[in-house]
Chain A
């Protein structure tokens, strides 16, 4: 099985540069604007898009992403509408890999088999489900792989060499290295420390390794892209979106552009990075 994710990382490798991965919340601040934002991400230089599934109780997320989820839920966003958004995005973009990121309960309630079938036909390429460690692989990871979707796992500073093989066993697409023990939107990790961690994980896998949590600026994205196969930016984009809203939390004429401009600047940063020779 070769997915859009595999194809994209193969291309980037040929170009000799790291991936720029973006995260936004589906339906934030409303479904129509959210679709325009996702389109703008790919046009402004995002190589891979992560789309958050809104959830009431995002226990590994910080205040910014938590608030984004609540904004989306308030305007009636659901998992089904998240899949609709992906389907609409696919109408004019058949190349940019799209990964859904979120928590297990909405998927469990939707029904795992139905969800996987609908996700596949909508044009989803992979899943990152924060609260499904390898110990619970039977729930969704194994069925997702069978359905032809990548299951991307988080590795963290607490994942030691002994545990890494279990974490990597059923991972595909790429590995998401969480650079700090903490929630989204927290302080950034030192690029050199991240470099050592990436090198350590590389001894266990051939998969690309993207690094996220705490990256906010083109400079930081670039520093990480020099050490890893991709830089992931989420909270900074969600904050840019939020700062463009009116007092009632609704989209304004500035909203899509605010996200697009930051995306372009960050993409510039990543594209300027020299990747370490392997």
Chain B
């Protein structure tokens, strides 16, 4: 394929929300006026120093930013290649990167005068972040979660309820994240006048992929500054896991125009790419769902197929549209890791560094285990440690006990 290389990888999307052939606004008419309002409100907020100032205050004192860039010395020694740094998003309040985006969207919702917030969640991290900020600002919060995920992410369901949110188990379809998103869209269509839909990743209709990316770009911007301070130069490679792709976009975006930086996104290969998995780029093709055109898992008739991953946060049959574009223009390399590889990485990081990662970034660590040994010792590799594993402790505990029996 011959796709023209752009002058900048950072200028997208165009004014209709397209990243190349991807993105756009494929939603019911009822939602269009609201989406256009949101775009206007976001453009105004971005240019407003008061909004930026207030956000920076909460990022520092409520979220706990900047998150550290930590040299993982024992992991580096163990793998015997690249120098591995962990961007510690798991130290944020609520335990993952999701809070960066939610803070931004909730502040936008307040600016727009919306009192009721809805969200969809897979692993529950986005739901917990949303419930947290709704509690902080006194807003009504309803979180849609697939019934399967309600089962496997119990600790987060309990947390959301403690924070005052209403968690609605979704029984339709595959009862996972995609169905939670359908249900949230149905709620939004029904309650469009007073409700703000807080989307958890860089997907959905324009302007969501852009505004979520912008709110998450703090991860990459901090990494750039921190790496300059520690090593006096740019990193050589970046690695992040991909569900919808928000923690990855946040780390990658500030580096897209630095050609010396190799970039790797890691999708969930589940039981393997020829079986049940959630790797939309490796195993899907372009289609239209949830308001945008992007790579999707589907059958020959365009029906959406079930995704599978051990990690509820990666269990989605699509990916954000900007990733689809970065894949087609060849700027980012998309790899995948299986359930078993992620479990092995989960255990390795816990034992070597005393950091229990969420199952999602364990997928990124799994690929670091392959990539790092092949790189020289002066190669600087940054992995986005997007969340901590507390929520996964019961699930992984069951699996490991089952295996040792």
Residues in chain A within 8 A of chain B (CB atoms)? 54-60, 62-63, 66, 73, 78-80, 103-110, 130-133, 135-136, 153-160, 163, 167, 178, 181-183, 186
Contact = CB atoms under 8 A, between A and B. Distances in A.
Interface string B178-200: 11001001100111110000000
Contact of B304 (A57, A132, A136, A159): A57
Contacts of B283: none
Contact of A181 (B30, B298, B301): B30
A158 B33 contact: yes
Nearest to A132: B26
Nearest to B305: A56
Given A105-B298, A108-B302, A157-B30, 16 more contacts: A55-B302, A56-B304, A103-B288, A104-B26, A105-B289, A108-B287, A109-B302, A153-B29, A155-B29, A156-B30, A158-B32, A158-B34, A159-B29, A181-B190, A181-B192, A181-B193
B288 A181 contact: no
Interface string B268-308: 00000000000000000001111101001010111110000
B311 to A, nearest CB: 21
- The residue in B25, B30, B31, B172 that gathers the most chain A C-beta atoms within 10 A of its C-beta is B30
A186 B304 CA distance: 25
Given A135-B16, A181-B30, A106 B303 contact: yes
B178 to A, nearest CB: 7
B29 A56 contact: no
Contacts of A110: 301-302
Interface residues of B, number: 37
Interface in B171-221: 172-173, 178-179, 182, 185-186, 189-193
Given A56-B173, A181-B190, A106 B30 contact: no
Given A56-B304, A60-B186, A110-B302, A133 B193 contact: no
Q: Of A54, A56, A66, which is in contact with the most chain B CB atoms at under 10 Å from its CB?
A: A56
28 contacts: A57-B173, A57-B179, A57-B182, A59-B186, A60-B28, A62-B186, A79-B301, A105-B302, A106-B303, A109-B302, A110-B302, A130-B28, A131-B27, A132-B26, A133-B26, A136-B24, A153-B29, A154-B28, A154-B30, A157-B30, A158-B29, A158-B192, A160-B33, A163-B32, A181-B189, A182-B189, A182-B190, A186-B190
Contact of A66 (B26, B172, B192): B172
Given A104-B288, A105-B287, A181-B193, A135 B302 contact: no
Q: 6 nearest interchain CB pairs? A: A109-B302, A106-B302, A182-B190, A156-B30, A59-B185, A78-B301
**Which among A60, A153, A154, A155 has the highest number of chain B CB atoms within 10 Å?**
A60
A66 B185 CA distance: 14
Contacts of A181: 30, 189-193
Contacts of A156: 28-30
Given A56-B173, A60-B189, A109-B301, A135 B289 contact: no
Contacts of A130: 28
A157 B28 CA distance: 12
Max chain B C-beta neighbours (<10 A), residue from A59, A153, A155, A178: A59
A249 to B, nearest CB: 16
Contacts of A154: 28-30
Contacts of B24: 135-136
A106 to B, nearest CB: 4
A159 to B, nearest CB: 6
Contacts of B173: 56-57
Contact of B288 (A108, A135, A157): A108
B190 A183 contact: yes
B303 A73 contact: yes
B395 to A, nearest CB: 26
Contacts of A73: 303
Contacts of B185: 59-60
A110 B191 CA distance: 33
Contacts of A153: 29
B288 A131 contact: yes
Nearest to A69: B303
A180 B65 CA distance: 44
Contact of A109 (B33, B290, B291, B298): B298
Given A105-B302, A109-B301, A135 B32 contact: yes
Contacts of A63: 172
A183 B189 contact: yes
Nearest to B301: A78
